[in-house]
Amino acid sequence: MSVLVGKKAPLFNAPAVISGTEIVNKFSLEQYQGKKYVVFFFYPKDFTFVCPTEILAFQKKLKEFEKRDVAVVGCSTDSEFSHWKWLNTEKEDGGIQGVTFPIVADLSKTISENYDVLAGEYSYDEETGNATFEGEPVAYRGLFLIDKEGIVRHQVVNDMPLGRSVEETLRMVDALQFCEKHGEVCPADWHQGDDAMVESQESIATYLANH
């Protein structure tokens, strides 16, 4: 599994559904560079079980992300037409109607490969000339926090049965923005309003003595 933290987030142009209803052919994270932070997350499949709980949880907290100048973007290996259908299916019927943040279609699986969250890989048989896929052709639950310069500052990848914490994602956004603004570092379980530290032995000793 690649570690992308500290590196430029891989860019792409791909179909997506935006605002819950509109299909666009060329969606890119590049539009946010210099303007917004990005929470870019992958999920395995449309019309499944854990996935809608995560997507609806992000939607429920969307205003909190927007207050922090963060764009939330989802992605799976389904087509844009599958996304559109799911987005226009009512919740009681297994849909995610009401979700307004962009959902990217990675039908070619190249975005998932570039972020190294694809749950399998292609292999090539030189004798037969055939390419086969080993594993599952869907994405793990990868999440990437990208700063305004397009650099990945945090990533987490869960196996498919394990849903993520939207509150933890917000906490990481707060920590990143605090560090950028104040030049201090955030200790374990830091939350907005808690004490932070400067990078010195004296600061660390003082913090540990008081906690």
Token pair of 90 as six digits: 């009512």
Q: What are phi and psi of 177, to 5 degrees?
A: -65, -35
Q: Give Cα separations from 33 to 36, 65, 102, 134 (angstroms).
A: 6, 16, 16, 35
Q: Kindly report the CA angle at 65 between 75 and 6, in degrees rounded to 5? A: 65
User: Is 51 a catalytic site residue?
Assistant: yes
Q: What b-and-e string marks burial along 131-159, b requiring 16 or more CB atoms within 10 Å of the CB?
A: eeeeeeebbbbbbbbbbeebebbbbebbe
Catalytic residue among 51, 75, 179, 186: 51
Burial class (CB in 10 A: 0-12, 13-18, 19+), 87: buried
* Helices assigned H by DSSP within 61-200: 62-67, 80-87, 110-114, 166-182
At 129, the amino acid letter reads G
Token pair of 112 as six digits: 């998932």
- Give me the active site residues, please: 51
